[in-house]
Amino acid sequence: MIRRLGHVDRVGVEERAAQLGKRSIKTTAKQQGIRLAVSMLDLTTLEGADTAGKVRHLCAKAVCPAPTIPEIPSVAAVCVYPSLVGVAREALDGTGVRVASVATGFPAGQVSLEAKLRDTEDAVAAGAEEIDMVISREAFLAGEDTRVQHEIVAVKERCGDAHLKVILETAELGSYDHVRHASMLAMEAGGDFIKTSTGKAGAGATPGVCLVMLEAIRDYADRTGRVVGFKAAGGVSTSKAALHRLVLVKETLGDAWLTPDRLRIGASSVLNDLLMQYAKTETGRYGRAEDFSKE
């Protein structure tokens, strides 16, 4: 079956995304936006050097990002490798912060389907409530859409009650046409969320990529009535970038989407910038790194 790509104009996309970056978010809107952004964070650590101790620190930060600012909410989830899901689960039990795990041979996904499914099962068994899988770019770039979808369906099956985020790894797909196409494939295959990137290869959730995926989500929802969530991961490292993503969501999908059920930001260092910017709105002072604990 020969693939039919949709038409997405890159220059137009990037103009619109940049224009929305000019929205001026001040005072109360900024504070509310920052609190919203924090509530949508999937606080992430995906390093070879991760250990139980590191994950426990991260979970503490996730539950209470800023002890000195009580109105800052908990984040939405903590995202780790499958081997550390158990540690996270224990640390987050009863807090309302969810445990997300990457799976399917993250980040490159260059393992057999069996290995991907086993990886998923292990994570779910260890207590993951959310699974972030990677699509097979190897299959996608070879034009094998059916195989790409087949894998997603199989992983979704292994998720059980856990919800599934499908990572497209947009920087590897080639063009915005391909990003839109992959978004549709993932949604049609049953993903609960579509996610931009692994954060491990190339550009992440650029404004243009986010806009294209949000438009795909909107069109899919209009067509089928099913709501699929969006996760921006990779490259969202400042408060300004986070708020820009919120603006993109607000002006493409509407305010009803500004909720952790439908929107997540996968990041780590952005949290402290969000806290510093929040503190500035209160005190009027530009902050410094030492104002908040790193973990």
Binding-site ranges for other proteins (CB under 8 A): 6-9, 11-13, 15-16, 22-30, 32-33, 35-36, 39, 63-64, 70, 72-74, 76, 96-97, 215, 246, 250-251, 255-256, 258-261
Question: Which residue, 97 or 233, is less far from other proteins as judged by CB?
Answer: 97
Nearer to other proteins, 64 or 201 (CB): 64
Q: Which is nearer to other proteins, 110 or 293 (CB)?
A: 293
Residue 26 is a catalytic residue: no
CB of 244 to other proteins, least distance (A): 13
DSSP string covering 134-200:
E--HHHHHTT-HHHHHHHHHHHHHHHTTSEEEEE--GGGT-SHHHHHHHHHHHHHTT-SEEE---SS
* 132 is annotated as an active-site residue: yes
Active-site pick, 42, 132, 192, 273: 132
> How far, in Å, are 128, 139, 197, 243 from residue 111 at the CA level?
21, 12, 18, 36
Are 146 and 118 in contact by the 8 Å Cβ rule? The answer is no
Largest CA distance in the chain: 60
The residue (of 72 and 134) whose beta carbon lies closer to other proteins is 72
Q: How far is the CB of 114 from other proteins (least distance, A)?
A: 37
Please identify, using beta-carbon distances, which residue of 25 and 139 lies nearer to other proteins.
25
Does 122 participate in catalysis according to the annotation?
Answer: no
Q: Which two tokens stand for residue 158?
A: 């292994």
Catalytic residue (one of 116, 156, 165, 195): 195
Q: Point out the catalytic residue in the list 61, 116, 156, 231.
A: 231
Taking the C-alpha atoms of residue 278 and residue 282, their distance in angstroms, rounded to an integer, is 7
Structure tokens at 83: 């081997």
DSSP 89: H
Report in angstroms how near the CB of residue 262 gets to other proteins at its nearest.
10
Please, what is the minimum distance in Å from the beta carbon of residue 219 to other proteins? 8
Q: What are phi and psi of 100, to 5 degrees?
A: -110, 145
Residues in the chain: 295
Cα–Cα dist 216/75, whole Å: 26
CB of 260 to other proteins, least distance (A): 7
Give the catalytic positions in this structure.
Answer: 132, 195, 231
